[in-house]
Structure 1
Amino acid sequence: MNGVGVGLFNRDMLRSIKERWHEGGIGVIYVRFRLGNAAAENALQMWESEEKALFWRQRLEWDYFFLIDRKQKDEPIIKVIEKSLERLYGKLRKVVSNTEKEHGAEHEVEVNIGMSTAFPPATGRSSEAVVYRMLLDAMEHSAYNVSLGRERKDAGAAGVLSQAGYGLSAVASETVIQQDLTGNHGRSVRIGTLAVPFPVFPARARVSEVAYLFDTNAKAQGAVIVDQGRPIGILMKEKLHQMLAGQFGLPLYWNRPVERIMNNQPLIVDEQLSVEHVSQLAMAREFSQLYDVVLITKDGQMAGAASIRSILECMTTLRTEAARTANPLTGLPGNEEIQLELSRRIGEKEPFAVIYADLDYFKWYNDCFGFGMGDNLIRYLGELLRRELDLLGGSDDFIGHIGGDDFIAVTKSSLAEGLCEALIKRFDQGIKAFYGGVEVTSVEDRHGNPVEQEGVTLSLSLMMWDGRVPLATEEIPRRAAMLKKQAKALKGSICVMDHISGMHHGEERNRN
């Protein structure tokens, strides 16, 4: 505790913050005891005296603010705060347990606890504004009315920690979400990145307690009802106000358990689901629940909630980013996303297959039939890839447009050969429609030399990786170029295959 400053928004406080947040950010832990309790306050003082990362504190009536920093070799600031909060909960639970033993009765401490983080401000934002926002976030993200003692039968020690845990995992979210969205370049984003803390109540909490939350916190739009940390229902502010506004609303509901009036069928999703999937589930709900928040769980426990607004904003960002990097002719992901996808697949160290698709004699086709028809032929190949992967591929398949008449597809190794056979068959059946009824018996190569060939053909380069042999992202297009050269030396639509594995390495040819 030596050297810990005191005060709020004074020059020394801001200077102390600026000295520390370049080491990886700072955090604030907010504590408020709803009811005065000397033993709990002593536990709080004991906790702060032992916290080595604490560098500033301030008490405003029953509100406590504790500023935490990280040292250069520490874990990320969010982890530092998580561990600090675990120690705080441990102190408070110990106080409650000792009090119950001494008095031989159940004892209860009700407390709000929340946290937030802050990093050096971007250009144009003042340090004071960043710190102020951090303090407000900690207050807003505090778990409302966490009970240590009597309600442990509903929440239990693990439940209380899980309530704190969902606040922790979600709080630093505004910055993290934006980084995650821009880092994914339009690819799938997990709904867990949108999770933010949401007020929680045990099933036996009274309706009056939830109403008090809504009356004292204008930003609280609803409350989640939990049973041992597991969400079982939700009560939105608008719904409660409608029920209480009736002639007999107050006497009928005021002192009843909140589980009697909650929505017991909220939309609950696992944090690993994609935002796109969750948005579809949310929009498929009944109109009366359309704008209820979506509850997010981790291992079945409450992890936070996402508003419909945040989900739709995320979808807009993803689609905008996807459009920015997509090929304008086909709308398929371009080279930037292709590289990210290949890197992701290699990083997972699971077997996969890469198919490069390329049109033979495309220059001849453009010269004879015009660039407009050439663009149509490129679109046809893109749609063919998309359709065949939908029919024969896996759920995690990827299609990208490298440029011109070059495409790439990533799929499961077990599906790749059958997919290539189907692509060649479908292409050869469909290409004749692009000649406008003209019977083609010869074409010209890039040098203008005549070649006996019945029009445009399809060359496929198929690479199968076993997931074990070291593989660099840049090696894939290099191998594909070698296979492409081999394929183009052969007549007709053809697939040339290469196995990248520790067992053997070699090429195979497969023509429909």
Structure 2
Amino acid sequence: MMGDARLAVQLRQVLERHELNFVFQPIVDLAQADVLGYEALMRGPLGTPLHAPEDLLRVARLHGLTQELEVAACTGAMHAFAALRLPGKLFLNLGAPAIASFGGADGGELLRHAADAGLAPGRLMLELTEHERVEDAEALQAAFSTLAGQGVGLALDDFGDGRSSLRLWAQLKPRMVKVDKFFVRGIHHDRRKVEVLRAILNLSTAFGTSIVAEGVEEAEELSVLRDLGCHFGQGYLLGRPAERPAPVVADAARTVLDSSKVAVLPNAVPRTGLAETVGRLKVGAPTIAADASNAELMQLFAHHPELQAVAVVANGYPVGLVNRRNFVDRFARPYSHELYGRRPTTLFMNDAPLRVEMSTPIDALITVLTGDDQRYLYEGFILTEDGRYAGLATGESLVRAVTERRIEAARHANPLTFLPGNIPITEHIGRLLSAGARFAACYFDLNNFKPYNDLYGYWRGDEMIKLAARVIAAHADPSQDFVGHVGGDDFVVLFQSEDWQGRCERTVHAFNVGARALFDAGELARGGFESEDRRGFRVVFPLTTMAAGVVRVSSGQFQTPEEVASAAAAAKKVAKQSGSGIHLAPAVRPRLLLEATG
């Protein structure tokens, strides 16, 4: 307690003597690669327990000096900023009470401090911090409106950190919103963060607000932010806090912003939506009561010839399932009607049928397809809502739905290599074409893979494909080059690396060397292996190697991703036929474009 009391005295002295110091961190316009302004960050006297800003704020909160500290920091930062003659806007962090106070008397107090420092109101941007402490949103809204009318800009800080409110964004109508660094760090590795930022950018368009991405530290992060259309950025890559910050963007960041290369976005398999639940397989079907007789069940089947099975229900809950074919076969035997007609339907039912809640994702039933009990394939299964009977579904519809889901997932990410599939490949080519970027589309394929797969089996074949995936990915630059798996032994790399040709050559060589380890000693000694050709004849094939067809793409040469893919596939075909390993297609416009231009 005594220590805190001494710190409170020291804090009051710091405020009275105007001993706060300031560093400034640039905020950069990502489209123009220029400095928009600087955020002022306060520091206490160097070498004292109050040097760190978090210690200043802690002591201020403990002793009721928060607003006094913020006002002192605001006014001190304006004078320090003006003295440095820095360009652009000055961003000032303030809590709701301080902003509400500055909004009084038509913002006169804030405007006087700005005039004393020689700053026009239009150069000020107040950042609302600590949103969870906003107790009177209406008063804050009035203050925002008043200050905005004087030309002062308002920003919402740390949006998305769990404390900020979408309601505040809509209600306060800030000019800018700063996105919390959590959604920026590692965005080039996390598709979820990409989608969050896209959603925030969509909101910013609807609200007429600019977005600042905080915490930008890596070139790959900045590249993704730029390509997504984020307006502004802040972070160590763009410029560190400094007492005398540079008036221009840091060289490392400018290199990224000036580059014509397109960012490689992280890939993700689409998640199961609400529509992709087992409920969509539901077939309405009549039921039979548990205490009904087999004779009544026979009549039900007779009146509904389309029914393959009937659920047995007691008090609305399913207790079993009767398969039509099995029941009718048994009841058609001599004397069965006399023996079993009056007996209850539970006699011939499957008392352990597959029961599935309607809300269950279809993907969750993949394990059912590989289970030991496969009766559901021919008798169907029961759908329930909160355990009560809802309807039936057929095994055929489940197999078809699961298959469709797996095929769709494979189009996004190959299940063997986990590399992006056809849809992300097409999307990335489209982004490259839209940006007018120069790139090399390389189509990799394996020579004599099918006969190898026939000889050694699918397990060894899968090992060969996974080897190809590892080698291709290892020789690509993940920050510039997009690696995709079309399917089977076909891969595509969209190179933006300047040294793409050397990377291709090293890829082919590395695979050809590594693939030898997947052959038996006898085949290695002979330099080939015997297997069936496409006509079914036993022939000797050379060892499996890699071929690559390459098409160089420049702005305006191709109009659609399909044209690029077709040209690369044609180059790959030539490479396989020539046996030279790599074929570089001549720079000729595709036939479709020639026809279009006459």
Query: What TM-score do the two structures reach when normalised by structure 2?
Result: 0.38
TM-score by length of 1: 0.43
Q: Which has the larger radius of gyration?
A: 2
